[in-house]
Structure 1
Amino acid sequence: MMLKHIPNILSTLRIGMVPLFAYVYFSDLPNAHYMALGIFILAGITDVLDGFLARHYNLITKIGTVLDPLADKLMQLMAITCLAIDEAIPVWLTLIVVFKELTMIITGIYMYFRKESTVMASNYFGKAATVLFSFAIFITILYPNSLASILLIGSAILLKLTALISYIRHYFMDVKPNLGKNKV
């Protein structure tokens, strides 16, 4: 019976790692950035694990479909914000990501609490953007201000914007026209 809650517990733990990442990243601890990177990697591992458990054991819940992407977005927002504050990447890149992710978070919350209580599933572009962006953050923590990190972050942002356009298109073409059709 406890197994059914594990994916949501893992997502909740990932949300708890968000402020821990920032605290460690800016701490005076020796190798603080590497320790923060370890937290980022641990969050990624728990993301993969909770997704595997939820799908493999059919433990997908409505709250889990919200918690999982929220945890991902919050960790990525925190990481890129820390990198911008630390001047490891340009601030304008961070602003694009913050705008995109906050738009997705606000829209997701709105859709979740609507009468129809719609949750949009992630698509290929969204998943690919998350993976590329995580890799870009990983490289940027290791090699701040490097050409590779800037190119990876830029590519990830383009993919994130493509995902946003894809979600908007999917919503207006597929989801919105079908809202309310199944009512009695």
Structure 2
Amino acid sequence: MNIANLLTFVRFLLIPVFVYVLYGDGQGSIMAATSIFLFAGFTDILDGYVARKYNMITKWGQAMDPLADKLMQLTVLFCFTDKGILPLWVIVVIGIKELFMILGALILYYYKDKVVIQANHYGKFATVMMYVAILAVVLHLPFAIYIMVLAVCFTLLAFHNYVSGFKQIHKNIDA
């Protein structure tokens, strides 16, 4: 396992740590859990940089990196919705979108000769926007809900882009 993949693996481990800290009895648990979430985001940036710079790109990393991101984001959104920090509609929209993304990725990977749709600029921007939106909500910024709406819109735009890519790959494989 190379360094980039190790950083992805660390993100998987941070998911239960986030939940444990958020639901812990400690004062400031929301901010502490948010710090863990932000650290996970930093490891995402770092593993992508390391993988590209040092030629450590692997099929495992291409498949597991976005999965780690999706699971972390869904966990944060679910937990923050459960805590009343986020409105329910956010997790419903993002959850449905992510479910389709995960199913599409699994179909391509396991049934179409281990094909992986790589992250693109739309998806990366949507992820950054979601991090910003969650941070704005946690910090109770007065315009946080507008940032969240924008983040959800960019997430849906990225989803549309991935669906187009999925259709093209599926068409090329079956041809």
Equivalenced residues, count: 175
Amino acid at match of 2:2: H
Does the alignment pair 1:176 with 2:170? Answer: yes
Does the alignment pair 1:71 with 2:68? Answer: yes
Query: 2:109 touches 2:116 (CA, 8 Å); kept in 1?
Result: yes
**Paired position in structure 2 for 1:98:** 95
Deviations 1:103-158 (A, max 9, x none): 11121122111142210011221111000001111121221xx5422111111111
1:11, 1:179 → 2: CA distance?
Answer: 29
Kindly report which structure 2 residues correspond to 1:40-51, keeping only aligned pairs within 5 A, or say none: 40-51=37-48
**Paired position in structure 1 for 2:109:** 112
Does the alignment pair 1:125 with 2:122? Answer: yes
1:16, 1:163 → 2: CA distance?
Answer: 26
1:22, 1:148 → 2: CA distance?
Answer: 26
Query: 2:112 touches 2:173 (CA, 8 Å); kept in 1?
Result: no
**Paired position in structure 2 for 1:163:** 158
Does the alignment pair 1:141 with 2:112? Answer: no
Return the match for 2:84 from 83, 87, 106.
Answer: 87
2:41, 2:55 → 1: CA distance?
Answer: 21
- Runs of at least 5 residues in structure 1 that lack an aligned partner in the other structure: none
1:147, 1:158 → 2: CA distance?
Answer: 19
Offset at residue 17 of structure 1 (A)? 0.5
Which secondary structure state, in structure 2, belongs to the residue aligned with residue 179 of structure 1? helix
Q: State the TM-score, normalizing by the size of structure 2.
A: 0.94
Offset at residue 23 of structure 1 (A)? 1.4
Query: 1:116 touches 1:179 (CA, 8 Å); kept in 2?
Result: no
Deviations 1:58-96 (A, max 9, x none): 100000001111111111111111111111121122110
Give the fraction of aligned pairs with identical amino acids, expressed as a percent: 36
Which structure is larger by alpha-carbon Rg, 1 or 2? 1
Offset at residue 28 of structure 1 (A)? 0.8
Q: CA separation of 1:84/1:154 partners in 2, compared to 1, >3 Å: closer, same or farther?
A: same
Q: State the TM-score, normalizing by the size of structure 1.
A: 0.90
Kindly report which structure 2 residues correspond to 1:46-57, keeping only aligned pairs within 5 A, or say none: 46-57=43-54
Q: Which runs of 4+ in 1 moved over 6 A?
A: none
Q: What's the RMSD between the two structures over aligned residues?
A: 1.4
